[in-house]
Amino acid sequence: MKKFICLLLAMIILTTSFSVSADSQIKVIWQDSENVVIICGDDGEYKFFRADSADGEYEYIGTSDTGSFRDDTASYPNTYFYKAEKYDASGKKIYESSPIKAEISPEEVSKVSVIMYHNFVTDEDVKSGVEFDEYSIKPEDFEEDLIWLQNNGYVTITSDDLIRHLEGKKSLPQKAVIISIDDGSWGVYTNAYPLLKKYNMKADFNVIGANIDSTWENLDSGGTRNGDSAPYCTWEELIEMSESGVINLCSHTYGLHVYNKEKRIGMSMMENETAENFAKTVKKDYELSVSCIEGWTGKKPETVAYPYSKRSAESDEIVLGNTGYKILMAGEGARGTAANYFVKGCDIENQLTLMSRPCRMDGTPIGTYLERIDEKDAQNGVNKNTDFLNVKDTDEIASDYQIFDDVAKESWYSGSVYYSYLNGLMKGVGNNNFAPNDNINRAMAATLLNRLAVNAVQESDSGFADSEGSEWWYASAVWANENGILTAFDDKEFKPNQPIKRELLAKAMYNCAEYLKLDMSGKADITRFTDYRSISEENKEAVSWAVANGIFNGNADGTFNPAGNVTRAEMSMVLRNWLCKGE
């Protein structure tokens, strides 16, 4: 059976692409199946050069002022060396990078988007004296963000999940996003934490150790947070959130979240500061942060968020080399790409673990930021061929991440439920449940078949005796009826709430395949099913076709169960089989 959806394009990744010289922020990111190498740097005018060896003759290959350049002449499996020259506005060369090796191998790339948050403040909080500043948002806006993520197939992960992935111990979801919350504000505990639990989502919480200590000492000595314009959490509250699995506690430094104290801005290097002095400073602060977070929660922080997002390539190297931090959270534009890309199978020491993260500001929903990230990378040739309909590792991903409360990670259908969630084919039924054992009715069957046909529209309107014409399923049912895919009964009723049987769904999918002009030649011997005689004569050809193409399978007891109702779990499997197993 031929698929009508675009095939997944195998990606070719640069496995040594993340070794970057200290005198340059240029880095080779990855290559896709069109043999296009993406070279990224910060904004500015660049000239790019390429050679076949590090000390070879470098040939000019192009200029870019966007921070990214596409080398369309690259070919697999060659190895290349790149250099980049950067120029200022007057045309003067500022620097020339060291050779950057691009050794190409057929691996996969993982993508993680990060969105930065700060505080979550209600109107009642404001009345109590809490400041609603430019980095604050209302809890109801945060809830809308979480609903948007859910409706668009995203899975929230933490930086701990990412580290385990880079260590080869865990998979990553296809649409992975880290909600990265800075500072340690009490509003996270009172307003954001309940919403994260409600929607079964997770977040990093990057806390300023000194501020948490100060709040704890104040309350422990009989003080209150009443009237505090910027109240912070206590260690007990952080322990509760950490133990829930919803919050991953990270560092925002212990005491370096200060601006221009002794000429230092956050955890950045001062002008003319030696590397040795900066290393001592960050190591001391790291040890203080660990003593608090690990001392209270038993878990050592492996992620640090740069205060004020102030950093440099030199400071990155020193922080990673002198502390136990593995992930560095910075600001928007920290990388040459808008999202954060990682080579699957490459060890963590060779990955770029500096994370770019735009800041979620009041009035701009999370969807806007995530769409901008994809648009920017696609314009520069990065991440342009993503095809979620042909994802093959949904079982592995589902075994690592529980998307719905009522879908156990180890269940036989968890991978197909995740697949349906990822592609917006089947969503939850509310309260973060999928209801896997509920039956699919005719209304939902018509709607899902219409989605397989990419929401085809039927202009005629024959109407049904049991419909007012405004129901959520109506347009899909009209399309299915008029095209002979799933038709109304003799009394002109569509009977939307009637459960659909297995053989009737097989017939409807067969009809849909004919409508889409797919290859209908595949047939299977259905006499192997012990109950094949129970399959209606008019549906046997459709069942044979569906079995031959792996859309339907028999049961463990050797039956097909033609008259059995189709559950939501089974339907998710049927949809994945239809979209992923064709030729």
CA atoms within 13 A on the CB side of 548: 19
pLDDT, one tens digit per residue, over 84-110 is: 888 888 888 887 888 877 765 545 678
Report the pLDDT value the prediction gives residue 459, as an integer from 0 to 100.
67
Name the residue with higher pLDDT: 517 or 337.
Answer: 517
In contact, 115 and 179? CB cutoff 8 Å: yes
In contact, 180 and 330? CB cutoff 8 Å: no
Question: What's this model's pTM, rounded to 2 decimal places?
Answer: 0.84
pLDDT, one tens digit per residue, over 439-457 is: 999 999 999 999 998 877 7
Mean pLDDT across 457-470: 83
Q: Name the amino acid, one letter, at 330.
A: A
Between CA 121 and CA 124 the distance in angstroms is 8
Q: How buried is 166 (Cβ within 10 angstroms: 0-12 exposed, 13-18 middle, 19+ buried)?
A: buried
Count of residues making up the chain: 583
376-380, long-range: CB < 8 A, 24+ apart: 376/337, 376/338, 377/337, 377/338, 377/339, 379/66, 380/38, 380/40, 380/66, 380/67, 380/68, 380/70, 380/337
Mean pLDDT across 3-30: 32
Q: Which of 35-39, 73-77, 328-332 has the highest mean pLDDT?
A: 328-332
Judged against a pLDDT cut of 80, whether residue 582 lies above it is answered with: no
Report the pLDDT value the prediction gives residue 102, as an integer from 0 to 100.
73
Domains, the chain, ordered by start: 13-105 (2.60.40.10), 109-378 (3.20.20.370), 388-437 (no CATH), 438-580 (no CATH)
Report the pLDDT value the prediction gives residue 14, as an integer from 0 to 100.
34
Lowest mean pLDDT among 7-16, 212-221, 380-389, 442-451: 7-16
Angular region, 42: left φ>0, alpha ψ -120 to 50, beta rest? beta
Report the pLDDT value the prediction gives residue 104, as an integer from 0 to 100.
53
Between CA 277 and CA 36 the distance in angstroms is 42
- E strand segments, 222-339: 247-251, 259-261, 264-265, 303-305, 327-329
Alpha helices in 221-312 (DSSP H): 235-243, 275-297
pLDDT above 90: percentage of residues in the chain:
71
Q: Name the amino acid, one letter, at 131.
A: E
DSSP output for 467-522:
--S-STTHHHHHHHHHTTSSPPPTTS---TTSBPBHHHHHHHHHHHHHHTT-----
pLDDT band of residue 10 (cuts 50, 70, 90) is: very low
Lowest mean pLDDT among 250-254, 446-450, 461-465: 461-465
pLDDT, one tens digit per residue, over 337-361 is: 899 988 776 678 878 899 999 999 9
Average pLDDT, the chain: 88
Report the pLDDT value the prediction gives residue 4, as an integer from 0 to 100.
21
Judged against a pLDDT cut of 80, whether residue 406 lies above it is answered with: yes
Report the pLDDT value the prediction gives residue 580, as an integer from 0 to 100.
82
Grouping H, G, I as helix, E, B as strand and the rest as coil, residue 74 is: coil
Mean pLDDT across 40-48: 72
